[in-house]
Every structure is written in C-alpha cells, then in structure tokens.
Amino acid sequence: MSVPLYLIMTNPKISTTIRLLIWLMAGVIISTIALGWWQYSEPYDFFQDTISSLGGNLSKSGFANPTSALILTIGFSLCSVIALTISLLYFFNKQLFWHTGKAIIALFIVIGGIGIAIPRDHLQLSVYHGLGAMLFIAAFGFFNGVLQLLRYSHKHRSKNPTNPAEKKTFDFYLDLSLVYLTLLSSLFYLVIHILAASFHVEVQWMSTASAQKIVVIIACVAVFLLDLDDI
C-alpha cells in the first residue's frame, strides 16, 4: 500500500505537528466544556454532573437544551478528527518511538469522541454515548500518560547506570508525579465508571463525574509540558 507523502515528515517536523495537534485537542476539550456549561439550560454542578449532562437534548431536569448539546456534538466530533489525524501521523511515521501503540490509543480517542458526540438522551444510540464517554476520557488520559512516561524517560534516564544515587531535582519529581497522576487517574476513572455503569456500585467519596473531571484537568495541564522529544 502506498503511503500518502503528506503523512511522512522529518522527525522535528512531525513531532512539532503532532504536539500542536495534541495542544489543539486539549484546547477544543476545554472550550467545548466551557461553552456547553455556559449554554446549559440549568445550573451545572462541575463535580457532580458529568460532561455528558451537557450533551443531552434535555437537561437533567427536563429543560430543552439544544445549544449545549450542539456545542458538545461539534466539539467532540472535532476532537475525533484531530485524534484521527494524530493516529495516521503516528502510524505512517515509523521513526517515532512506539508509533503503532500511540496510533492505536489515538484511535480509541477517535471512537470515544464519535460516541460522546451523540446526544446522551438519543432514543436509539444513548448506549453508544455512554461507552464513548468512558472510552474518550480513559484513552485521552492513557495517551497523555504514555507521553509523560516518555518525557520522564528522555529527561531523567541515568547517564551513569553505575551511579543510581544521582541528585534528584524538582523537575525529576514533577515529571515522575505527572506519569503517576495521568496513568493512575485514568485507571481509577475507568474502574469507577465500570462499577457505576455495570454493577450500580457507587464509591461514596468519589463520584464518576469527579473522577472524570480529574482526568481531564490533569491531562490538559500535562500536555502543555510536552517537549518535542516526548512525542
């Protein structure tokens, strides 16, 4: 199969392009939630109401909610397009480290974005909205976790393996913390969501909505710390 030439780039160029696309996706996520919240037809509790609440044709209390629903449909559809572009760029640029794995995770973001773009109260497709929301949030978090792990590895791999007691800097602990935060928050959200959706088990001290927002906040902060070598 011939590869489109516009998908093959030199290393600095491809890394710059992918990083800009990741930043753009984070910006679209933040803007979509903010605009949907602004246009939501009733008061929105950030840590008790899920992002999906903004995407229903009706609000939780039954008020018409067409504008907020349209904003979420457009926003997450755009995220899917961006994630698909990222996936293709990874897949066809084999010089990038673990390019296939990152391409596959980006594809999960694509599928999740398509699902969450469906109104949550759609009569026939609401189940796909729920699955899409879970997949999008978890995959976006894990994708960023992988990039943060690469960042940590590139920056802090010991130059002298025989001397493991090298002095640790603030950057070391910050980058290590981001690896744990991005990966563990995504895994925790996935567990919380599955328990609530499949077994109707609620964790008393953490709602699905709160776990969801924690993943989004951590991931959207972490992506703006990425260097070109981390891509």
* pLDDT tens digits along 87-134: 999 999 988 889 999 999 999 999 999 999 999 999 899 899 999 999
Residues shown for the chain: 231
Half-sphere exposure of 217 (CA within 13 A, CB side): 10
Cβ atoms < 10 Å from Cβ of 180? 13
Domain boundaries, the chain: 5-155+168-230
Give residue-wise pLDDT tens across range 54-65. Answer: 999 999 999 999
Torsion of CA 69, 72, 74, 76, to 10 degrees: -150
Non-local CB neighbours of 101 within 8 Å, separated by 6+ positions: 146
**Is the pTM for the entire model greater than 0.85?**
yes
Sign of the dihedral through C-alpha 138, 139, 144, 146: positive
Please answer whether residues 175 and 151 qualify as being in contact, where contact means their C-beta atoms are separated by less than 8 angstroms. Answer: yes
**Count H helices, E strands: the chain?**
6, 0
Cβ atoms < 10 Å from Cβ of 39? 16
